[in-house]
Structures are given as structure tokens and as C-alpha cells.
Amino acid sequence: MKTTLNSKKIGEVFGKLSNRADLTVQEAQIAACRIFEALTNNDKDEEEQDSFALATGFFGALTIKKPCVEELIGVAMAMEHTKTVNFCFKVNSPVVTAGGTGGDTLPTINITTPAIITAASAGAYAVKSGSKSFSSKTGCIDVAEALGVNVHLSSRDVAKCVETLGTVIWASEEAYPWMGSLIKFGSKPATRQLMPFFYSLRLVIATALNPFSLKRQVRGVSEPCTELVTKVLGECGYERAFAVLGYGETENIRIDEFSTLGRNVVSELKTNGDVETFDFYPEDAGIKRGKMSEIRAKESHEAGAKVVRQVLFGEERGSCRDIILLNAAAILVLSDVCEDLRDGYELAWQAVEDGRAKSKFEQLTQFSSEKISKVN
């Protein structure tokens, strides 16, 4: 990706941010293009430092100011420009993805990866992209690899996997050439200490990352910005979406998933473009409140993968299962498989009980292991 941006224009953008003024869509796109270009081409130590400084300044300033809809749209446009592949799956139903921004006050087990597989086993086309851990103990890709899934399929094999099995788990860096550098940036000790200043980066990933070229998704957030996220998704071409902030017993406990611990604030993007925000409680789907101690993140990728496997195999029947099935229910709703979260939970529960979730998991690991298209 090459741009014709000059330092004067970038300086003007940063000048506005320093004065806490909102950027236009074009200005945000200009800055984001420059950052993604720098991250893509940072082969030398000096270039790496410059790209990290640029990303730190931009996303840090956005976080302090709080990003607006236009800024997130502009970054999304820039991100879409960098994508190296565009999918058009040959299926007869909507394809749905799910993920969270991270930044929970309660680090949890990996939820969306098994939720995706469960939803696919219950009749949805459900896919997941992700990365290695950015700020948490275990990222989506860390868990998937520990489960034996090859996450580095070629784009051709990704399409075949989705069209054949109805699901796939894929590393985002396969679609975005700058993603590897961003993950490296996030893994640095200094970045981890400053993560509260980079929530705007989380929002950018939430609203702009779309490696599968989809129109539907469930997006968890860990700050009260569900309406902002759904509005941006609508402006970026999505036709249906849920943005959810899950709470625990108090609002000091926040997770970027549908929660079985307490209240959920949900903003739904409808097909007519309207956004409706409502509260949802686990009891609304017939689910008893979960135990916080049971869903806490495990200490290793392998331990996290063990929990995922136990849920999919029907061996785990406590809080971990319930929160995964509730999030699978949201995917099933957006997939037009069912009308509401209560019905979706029942469908997901049945898919685990009768062994379809286990079978789908085994099919995915077998397919992906036979398609080793990249040496890790």
C-alpha cells in the first residue's frame, strides 16, 4: 500500500487531535492509511520505532478525546483498503462472525471461539478471525492452535472450509499485512502498561476489522459504547449486528461478551438501519446466573483449550457452558436460524447434548490439519 501523504497533512491531523477536535472521515482515513503503511513497512528497527510512535500518538489521542462516528468510519475505510483478499462465500444463508474488543475488568475464558463452533453445529454459517494475545492471557488464535486448528489456511481453503463445514477460524494477519506488526506492538511491556490509553484502537478493530467481507456480526465491548459501535457498523455496510456490554453482579465487572453474571446492555442494528438498545438478563433466556470464579481466564493456552474442548464435548455443564451457549445463541439469531436468544440457547444446548458440536469441532480440526498451507 502506497500513499501520497505528506508530513504537513499528518501534522494538521495530529494538531486537531491535540486540541481535542473531531476529525473528518477523510482526515481519519489519511492518518490511518499512514499508520498502516508504516506498520507494513517497518522492516528496520528505526522504522519499527517510528511506526509504533505514530500508532501510539494517534490512538492515544483518540482515546483521550473519545472517537466519534466519522473517525471510526475513516479508519475503517483505510483498513478495508489494506485488505489483501475479498471473500464471496457460495452459501445460501448469512455468514456471521463474533468477537470482543478486550479490555474486560474480568478476564474470562475464551468464549467466542467455541460459540462459533457450537453455532455452526446448530445450523449457522459462523466464522471467527482473531490474533494471538494482544493484551489478555490467551487470544483466539492461541486457543485455536492449542485445540489443533490450523489458523493459517489459504484464502481458497478458507472459502472451501466455510462452504463445506459452515465454519472456520482464521488468523487476521492473513488478510491484513500490518497485523503482525500491530500484534508485536501490543506485546511490548510498555504497550501493555498503557492499554487503558488505547481503547480507541480496540474500537477500531471492533468496527473496521472484516477479513471475511461480512455483513453481520456480534461484537462485544468492555466500555459503554454499544450504540456507537452499531452506528459505525451500519455506516460501514453491515445489515445486522449486536453490540453488547456484559456486566457482573455490579457494573465494576465488565466483559466484552454476552454475560450470564448479570445485566447485558445490547444495541441491535436492524435491517432497516435503525438501532435499538435494550437490557437483557440471563434469566430472559432461562439461564441461571453464572459463577464468576468458573469463567475466569486460565493460566495457559492449553488450560483454556481444555475448557473449550470440555464444553464442546458435553463434559462441562456449569457456568462455562452456559456463557458459551448464550453467545452462540446471539450468532444463531443473526444467522436467521432462530428468532430470539432463548430459542438460540436451546438450539445451542441441543447441539452440544446430541454430539453435533463435538462432531463439528472434529471436522474443523481434521479439515484444517489436512490443509497446511503455511509453515508456522
3-state SS, one letter per residue, for 51-63: HHHHHHHHHHHHH
Instruction: Walk me through the domains of the chain, giving residue ranges and CATH numbers.
Output: 7-82 (1.20.970.10), 95-176+211-367 (3.40.1030.10)
β-strands 264-269, 240-247: how paired?
antiparallel
pLDDT of amino acid 3: 43
Helix (H, G, I), strand (E, B) or coil at 100: strand
In whole angstroms, what is the distance from residue 244 CA to residue 253 CA?
Answer: 14
Strands (E), the chain: 95-100, 125-130, 167-171, 216-220, 240-247, 254-255, 264-269, 275-280
Sequence-ordered list of residues with C-beta below 8 angstroms from that of 2, at least 6 positions apart, any chain: 37
pLDDT at 220 over 60: yes
Mean pLDDT of the 207-212 span: 94
pLDDT at 53 over 90: no
pLDDT band for position 191 (cuts 50, 70, 90): low
List Cα–Cα distances, 36 to 16, 30, 157, 371, in angstroms. Answer: 20, 10, 26, 30
pLDDT digits (tens, 9 = 90+) for 79-99: 999 999 999 999 999 999 999
pLDDT of amino acid 373: 42
pTM for the predicted model, two decimal places: 0.93
In whole angstroms, what is the distance from residue 279 CA to residue 267 CA?
Answer: 9
Dig out the grid coordinates for 52 from the structure: 509504533
pLDDT at 374 over 50: no
In whole angstroms, what is the distance from residue 50 CA to residue 220 CA?
Answer: 31
pLDDT digits (tens, 9 = 90+) for 10-49: 888 989 999 999 999 999 999 999 999 999 988 777 778 8
